Structure 1
């Protein structure tokens, strides 16, 4: 696997979360309203994880194994609690797309993500902020002596606590997972959850779900009501029939059981079933084009193609659901081998395939058994951990201290202890809570209570964090005022001064003060010449606003070796092209440019190639376009 690398120290302040979906005509107003509700501009207070490379070496990764006579499940608690393997002993098949080469790539809300297994996504649309972080993990023993694997964390975008309890009863054909989300606030919060499973893609793999219609999009068209079995003249329930990347959110009608399955030529494959709270069921494919194939090789080198089947709280991923104040939501998910008859599941009669799969899945795990598991999960959720395996973040512990200091309610931690809040990350914030002054922090927090404490402190470091918090929620006038006040407040450490100027420059650019903003951004990059993140920002925005010469000057002044960073090599080539030096840009591309954090759907390298090498086809290594 690749190293995850250091976290990007620059606070996330701009409105960076673009919604890739547009809602088309014919979509119910209820869904359109849910799509408008709960959007966030960015992932603040989280920091971005973009320090990875594409150099892979052998690593040991902690794993927890749940095993019985039917199944063997492998979970990676230090990597978001990912269910990495689900091996069916009867068929001898891995039901999940899993592999031995773990490569981080820019897919998640905080960039770093890896393909394979089954992941837990919470917060807002996208792969979770916790997807590459350790979760608090423990073994829980019930009074009857049964063992449960518990993973939990405090999710900072929504300020909620989530936990996943997983268990594998003796001789059970399915692995069970109970998810609980708790909202400690005295107000409603927008909620999002999708469990995403990567499944092997073969020419004979078909996805079946109990619905004739779906809400579909291929990321270039509006979300619209479609029939997956008759999509653009093809049956897209066969994974290889989609030419381009596409989503299908199956419209499962009220009263029907909630499931989805992907089965191979033998009828074997992952079945995802859930109790009714987890309403949504989705199919995602990368498509059969050059870009789709390139992305899959980029994400899981040598592991072969895959698709995803998913289950979520809302009907589609454009929506958030309102979670009432102090509410607690629990549901149960089950995973096992469908064992369908391929003569029926792969037949031309879709209704017959659904009916057959429904019968087989009721035999795999009856609906009544899932309801019993739901009741059992609620009984064991508060049982205290017996053996701690992994410690997650300190943010839940800090939130407990903050809320108690403010006289606010908090969750019962008996089953999900967050431990001691003291650490290097939280020490400055504990000092602020305890009235001992604020000496600055490399981490960030959000919320009006924290802002009140920072305003009371009033020092330069506090003013910088107030500016950042206002900036992150897009109150740009207040942000600029706080940045200016921080600069005027007295002696400031060099690192903080650089971040203040960087934030001020970005706010100026967003408010239309382009010349001043670009000049300040160039100055701050020169102030911290070894900070590659500042140089990337300064070059990117200089080029975007028509100053390629400034970008080239900045990279020419960078310390030896920094210009070899993949993103900087690309930006240099782009600046050369924009400055009229196409031959030099073409030479760089022919020599090779690799951007480890290239974004899903980012076509910048291929577009530049077409500009500077118009008579040559785009090399396969640069074909990331999915349409």
Structure 2
């Protein structure tokens, strides 16, 4: 007899970097999305794919905040974990870090089935910045890694269909305003972990939905999937069809064979079971399968070139083995969104577990053997039965809360009077961030802000924008109204709101910064530089801090001001900004890079080169960014040092 499935709390100690404070400036610019396809390739794609590629693209990250306050100094730190275990599998979940399954161990053999990162090191891969590698993550929102990558989720103990314990994770995804849940269930004696997933649209309008379950596995594997073709996408932003397993004479199902980073979205024929596996040379590894709704399967590889290897080192400890990703999603490719109808939901069941079968040999033979083995250990009918058994339990109210997420879901439930069985968002979870908006909802007025802090987050959905439009027009309300109008695409009205508020504001720097962004977006770079300089001077005059928020604002505004002033060739003003930054900010890698740009603009290339020679690490270097390499090329003809080589695409020539 197997032991009864149980859930317990553990505290892991990991070498971990601190997340630090969020960026307090509203993200008014559209995200620099490296996964956007060049438009002139659309006519070459299937009609349904092309339509979903263009469906309601993300205009901004609002209302989410950018998370760029982390560094690269790792120290042993405690990380809360929830462990779900039977006598066959042990799943370790991090509820405070996006609900990530950090580890999945097959107990009879002692094998770790995932790539388990031995450290916690944030990097700028999520849509809003901080993300970390390893394990199984749940990506909802829009193309890319979710804004919840490093955020806490609600977690609770729920009764499973077989009477054992099920771990429920849930949150309110803010980019699309969608509540979702993931129910992790380990039937007694099962070699497979089930994940029942539900995404709900409680609104009276359709919403573009996006979901990809992303599993990191060691890259010294062969990836097996029942497909003969794939859509390849790389950093040159072109989506094109390639044969599987080999293209251009390279067997791409071995991740280390690919020279450059790329995505491979597999075309699994209709009617074929949907699964993907990663197996080592001895035939041991992980398989993921699901019910039919989760249509897509994908492989991401970093590539064998220096840039890809550098990124692998960047995300973990040097000398640690690399990883690749196998993924499963609602659409054929990760570049698409699907339509979720008003007041509807979509749900499915996934299964993760060990698979043992030789991966070598001709492609049809290797895939056929794996498919037969999967059918033997987990027949497709059993997955469908588990899904059917789980569905009635999706609405079960949690028995015991194990972790608490954000209060944003509670605020939306309070505003709209929503009933969301199974995923409670109680008023007790409302916190300081939600307090002003709860007051707006209750009284029709936005309260005065704390005088020594940045304005705080803005809610931008239409109901909140309507409330801001009818609230008393204080400078603080006009500021938030302008942000909401900007998000809605009414940029002229947003500028008018900010300009009205500017004449009455006691602290004008947040308004000046918003107007500077508007100037940049309309091509008025000289005026933007002037407003940035004024905003930075005003913020410096405040001269206070409250546990890091003011310093975070100073760093964020200082960075934007430096970049704007350098672009406008106002070198002396850029130097003035630099000199007023705190030493702790100037020592950050991002600002060392800005210093090299400033020195070069001042006609001091040798000093700029010395910044590189002294060494720096840009903690929030963005995926696909080439800033460091381009600046190096302006300084010297020498090859880019390996420590700075993050290039992810072939040379244009």
Are the structure 2 counterparts of residues 242 and 418 from structure 1 closer, same or farther at C-alpha, using a change threshold of 3 Å? farther
Are the structure 2 counterparts of residues 336 and 414 from structure 1 closer, same or farther at C-alpha, using a change threshold of 3 Å? closer
Query: What SS is found at the alignment partner of 2:578?
Result: helix
Count of residue pairs the alignment pairs up: 611
Contact 1:551 1:572 in 2 (8 A): no
Which among 426, 434, 448 is matched to residue 426 of structure 1?
434
Q: Does 1:514 align with 2:525?
A: yes
Structure 2 runs not aligned, ≥5 long = 1-15, 450-454, 541-550
2:5 match: none
Query: Which one is further off, 365-374 or 241-250?
Result: 365-374
Q: What do the CA deviations read for 1:169-218 (whole angstroms, capped 9, x no partner)?
A: 1111110000001100011000000000000112xx11010010011122
Query: Which one is further off, 47-56 or 297-306?
Result: 297-306
1:82 match: 100
CA–CA distance in structure 2, aligned partners of residues 547 and 353 of structure 1: 62
Query: What SS is found at the alignment partner of 2:79?
Result: coil
Q: Does 1:540 align with 2:563?
A: yes
Q: What do the CA deviations read for 1:286-308 (whole angstroms, capped 9, x no partner)?
A: 00010100001101123311000
CA–CA distance in structure 2, aligned partners of residues 619 and 143 of structure 1: 56
Which among 302, 305, 311 is matched to residue 322 of structure 2?
305
CA–CA distance in structure 2, aligned partners of residues 421 and 68 of structure 1: 32
* Offset, 1:327: 0.8
Q: Does 1:10 align with 2:10?
A: no
Which among 70, 82, 88 is matched to residue 64 of structure 1?
82
Q: Does 1:350 align with 2:363?
A: yes
Matching of residues 95-114 of structure 1 within 5 Å: 95-114=113-132
CA–CA distance in structure 2, aligned partners of residues 546 and 352 of structure 1: 62
Structure 1 runs not aligned, ≥5 long = 405-409
1:338 match: 355
Are the structure 2 counterparts of residues 435 and 67 from structure 1 closer, same or farther at C-alpha, using a change threshold of 3 Å? same
CA–CA distance in structure 2, aligned partners of residues 221 and 493 of structure 1: 46
1:41 match: 59
Are the structure 2 counterparts of residues 416 and 369 from structure 1 closer, same or farther at C-alpha, using a change threshold of 3 Å? farther
1:407 match: none
2:490 match: 475
2:574 match: 551
1:319 match: 336
Contact 2:396 2:421 in 1 (8 A): no
Which among 501, 506, 511 is matched to residue 486 of structure 1?
501
2:546 match: none
Which among 576, 595, 598 is matched to residue 618 of structure 2?
595
* Offset, 1:144: 5.7
Query: Which one is further off, 24-33 or 474-483?
Result: 24-33
Are the structure 2 counterparts of residues 137 and 239 from structure 1 closer, same or farther at C-alpha, using a change threshold of 3 Å? same
CA–CA distance in structure 2, aligned partners of residues 256 and 68 of structure 1: 31
Are the structure 2 counterparts of residues 346 and 549 from structure 1 closer, same or farther at C-alpha, using a change threshold of 3 Å? farther
* Offset, 1:618: 1.8
* Offset, 1:98: 0.4
Query: Which one is further off, 44-53 or 91-100?
Result: 91-100
Q: Does 1:448 align with 2:470?
A: no
1:572 match: 595
Contact 1:17 1:40 in 2 (8 A): no
Query: What SS is found at the alignment partner of 2:259?
Result: coil
Matching of residues 247-266 of structure 1 within 5 Å: 247-266=263-282
TM-score norm. by structure 2 comes to 0.91
Are the structure 2 counterparts of residues 385 and 527 from structure 1 closer, same or farther at C-alpha, using a change threshold of 3 Å? same
1:269 match: 285
Query: What SS is found at the alignment partner of 1:523?
Result: helix
Which among 110, 125, 139 is matched to residue 92 of structure 1?
110
CA–CA distance in structure 2, aligned partners of residues 561 and 547 of structure 1: 24
Which among 145, 156, 160 is matched to residue 127 of structure 1?
145
Which among 609, 619, 622 is matched to residue 641 of structure 2?
619
* Offset, 1:143: 7.9
CA–CA distance in structure 1, aligned partners of residues 132 and 588 of structure 2: 21
Query: What SS is found at the alignment partner of 2:597?
Result: helix
2:547 match: none
Q: What do the CA deviations read for 1:130-152 (whole angstroms, capped 9, x no partner)?
A: 11111000011258631000000
TM-score norm. by structure 1 comes to 0.95
Contact 2:160 2:185 in 1 (8 A): no
What RMSD in Å do the two structures reach over aligned CA positions? 1.6
Contact 1:258 1:273 in 2 (8 A): yes
Contact 1:290 1:620 in 2 (8 A): yes
CA–CA distance in structure 1, aligned partners of residues 329 and 602 of structure 2: 47
CA–CA distance in structure 2, aligned partners of residues 366 and 190 of structure 1: 32
Are the structure 2 counterparts of residues 4 and 560 from structure 1 closer, same or farther at C-alpha, using a change threshold of 3 Å? closer
Contact 1:12 1:472 in 2 (8 A): no
Q: Does 1:528 align with 2:534?
A: no
2:543 match: none
Are the structure 2 counterparts of residues 553 and 104 from structure 1 closer, same or farther at C-alpha, using a change threshold of 3 Å? same
2:190 match: 172
Contact 1:182 1:411 in 2 (8 A): no
2:509 match: 498
Contact 1:64 1:77 in 2 (8 A): yes
